[in-house]
């Protein structure tokens, strides 16, 4: 825990560096919601440290095996987990990611290369200096963490070409950042984060469950990727369900609806763009659909393969939804907000992967490793 101690010991200088970043951001006119993400406080540093301690306390994900078997010739083979090597993370303003990414990488035996945003440069430098100071007092090399010393766009391009030095790149931020990294990387990437998630309220839905789930998935924390952006309601129950929903959350949430929705509750008319937008805000697009199949088609067309939920009491629809909807997580009668490493019991995460290769869903310690087959023999040869 040398690192936690050195972060605490350097708390004043970290907060001072963060104030410099926050003041510069405010001068440049950064939105207050982003200023909030950028800002550190004593309380937030304590939260960082408790996150760090939680990761330290998780089981070591390296050199574990769930597959050990013997061939008929007596050769025993173990499929063991091993570190990936060097992980690079390219992230936007939140400085707590600096500490999270470091702790996840180190716990999984990897080195971490951090490329933060220019708006957080002073905060990140202060945090990395504190981490390195802590490592210097430990048996682990300070070289396991490095911060990019420039925030230029060209440097990101260069970084993305260094396949011989970096094993995995994780972009963490908005859609533009993720698309840029995925389009330009020569290094394997894990796409994280964009979530245009839906709840579909089926004709057989239990209204109490549906109201609870829609309210939770939309309003419990709208700025995160596993919150919902659109609601699909079966035409048979729309007239009955929507007014209750409006009563429940209409005071806090702006509705944008299809024609049939607008005829039932107060809502702005939704445009084509609304169905494809990740608002990350107190806005909900609502579409009345004619059938279960139409709901699936809408999700197939507009969803980002993150988290999708159905509220239904129909067994066949429940089973068909979880099989047929293509997403990292699919739920029956539960909020989409459970797509989260902490909620699922895996601990902290680098993000939520929406790709199919290597890792899908929460990217925690178990996803930051590779494997190695180890054979223990006594002279076996192949026949």
The answer to whether residues 362 and 349 touch, using CB atoms and an 8 Å cutoff, is: yes
Q: Is 361 in the site for a copy of itself (CB under 8 A)?
A: yes
Q: Is 142 in the site for a copy of itself (CB under 8 A)?
A: no
Out of 37, 172, 317, 360, the residue judged to bind a copy of itself by CB under 8 A: 360
Q: Is 216 in the site for a copy of itself (CB under 8 A)?
A: yes
Q: Is 320 in the site for a copy of itself (CB under 8 A)?
A: no
Distances (CA, A) of 366 to 64, 65, 100, 163, 275: 10, 12, 15, 22, 34
Gap between the Cα atoms of 62 and 369, Å rounded:
7
Q: Is 333 in the site for a copy of itself (CB under 8 A)?
A: yes
Q: Is 358 in the site for a copy of itself (CB under 8 A)?
A: yes
CB contact set of 20 (below 8 Å; sequence gap of 6+): 122
Gap between the Cα atoms of 126 and 38, Å rounded:
14
Out of 9, 16, 71, 263, the residue judged to bind a copy of itself by CB under 8 A: 71
How many residues touch a copy of itself under the rule CB under 8 A: the total is 64
Other Cβ atoms closer than 10 A to 243:
13
- Among the candidate windows 3-11, 116-124, 193-201, 212-220, which touches a copy of itself by CB under 8 A? 212-220
Out of 209, 248, 268, 298, the residue judged to bind a copy of itself by CB under 8 A: 209
> What is the SS3 assignment for 104?
helix
Q: Which is nearer to a copy of itself, 49 or 369 (CB)?
A: 369
Least gap, CB of 159 to a copy of itself (angstroms): 16
The answer to whether residues 309 and 200 touch, using CB atoms and an 8 Å cutoff, is: yes
Where in 8-67 is the site for a copy of itself (CB under 8 A)? 63, 66
Dig out the tokens for 121 from the structure: 């440069």
From first CA to last CA, the distance across the chain in angstroms is 52
Out of 159, 318, 348, 350, the residue judged to bind a copy of itself by CB under 8 A: 318
Q: Is 356 in the site for a copy of itself (CB under 8 A)?
A: yes
Q: Is 165 in the site for a copy of itself (CB under 8 A)?
A: no
E strand or H helix at 219, and its extent?
helix 207-219
Q: Is 331 in the site for a copy of itself (CB under 8 A)?
A: yes
Gap between the Cα atoms of 262 and 239, Å rounded:
11
Q: Is 207 in the site for a copy of itself (CB under 8 A)?
A: no
CA dihedral 61, 66, 72, 76 (to 10 degrees): 20
Q: Is 327 in the site for a copy of itself (CB under 8 A)?
A: yes
For residue 314, the 8-state DSSP code is -
Q: Is 215 in the site for a copy of itself (CB under 8 A)?
A: yes
- Among the candidate windows 25-33, 47-55, 120-128, 326-334, which touches a copy of itself by CB under 8 A? 326-334
Chain centre distance of CA 83: 21
The answer to whether residues 131 and 52 touch, using CB atoms and an 8 Å cutoff, is: no
Out of 15, 34, 77, 283, the residue judged to bind a copy of itself by CB under 8 A: 77
List residues near a copy of itself by CB under 8 A: 63, 66, 69, 71, 75, 77, 79, 82, 84-85, 163, 167-168, 182-183, 186, 188, 206, 208-209, 212-213, 215-217, 220, 318, 322-323, 326-335, 337-339, 343-345, 355-358, 360-361, 370-382
């Amino acid at each position: 825990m040398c690192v936690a101690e050195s972060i605490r010991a350097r708390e004043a200088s970290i907060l001072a560096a963060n104030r410099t970043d926050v003041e510069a951001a405010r001068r440049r006119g950064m939105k207050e919601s982003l200023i909030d993400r950028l800002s550190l406080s004593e309380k937030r540093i304590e939260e960082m440290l408790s996150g760090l301690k939680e990761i330290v306390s998780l089981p070591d994900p390296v050199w574990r095996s769930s597959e050990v078997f013997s061939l008929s010739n007596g050769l025993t083979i173990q499929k063991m987990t091993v570190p990936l090597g060097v992980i690079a993370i390219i992230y936007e303003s939140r400085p707590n990611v600096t500490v999270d990414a470091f702790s996840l990488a180190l716990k999984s035996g990897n080195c971490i290369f951090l490329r933060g945003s220019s708006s957080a440069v002073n905060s990140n430098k202060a945090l990395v200096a504190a981490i390195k100071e802590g490592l210097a007092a430990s048996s682990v090399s300070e070289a396991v963490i490095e911060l990019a010393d420039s925030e230029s766009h060209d440097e990101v391009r260069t970084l993305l070409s260094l396949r011989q030095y970096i094993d995995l790149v994780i972009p963490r931020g908005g859609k533009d950042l993720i698309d840029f990294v995925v389009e330009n990387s020569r290094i394997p990437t894990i796409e994280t984060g964009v979530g245009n998630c839906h709840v579909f309220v089926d004709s057989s839905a239990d209204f109490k469950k549906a109201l609870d789930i829609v309210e939770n998935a939309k309003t419990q924390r709208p700025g995160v990727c596993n919150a919902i952006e659109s609601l699909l309601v079966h035409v048979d129950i729309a007239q009955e369900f929507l007014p209750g929903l409006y009563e429940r959350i209409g005071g806090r949430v702006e509705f944008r609806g299809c024609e049939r929705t607008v005829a039932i509750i107060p809502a702005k008319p939704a445009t084509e763009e609304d169905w494809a937008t990740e608002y990350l805000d107190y806005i909900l697009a609502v579409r009345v659909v004619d059938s279960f199949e139409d709901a699936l088609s809408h999700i197939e067309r507009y969803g980002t393969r993150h988290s999708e939920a159905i509220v239904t009491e129909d067994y066949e629809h429940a089973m068909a939804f979880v099989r047929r909807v293509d997403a990292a997580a699919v739920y029956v009668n539960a909020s989409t907000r459970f797509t989260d490493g902490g909620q699922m019991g895996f601990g902290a995460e680098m993000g939520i992967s929406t790709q199919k290769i290597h890792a899908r869903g929460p990217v925690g310690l178990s996803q930051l490793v590779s494997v190695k087959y180890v054979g223990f023999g006594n002279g076996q040869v192949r026949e």
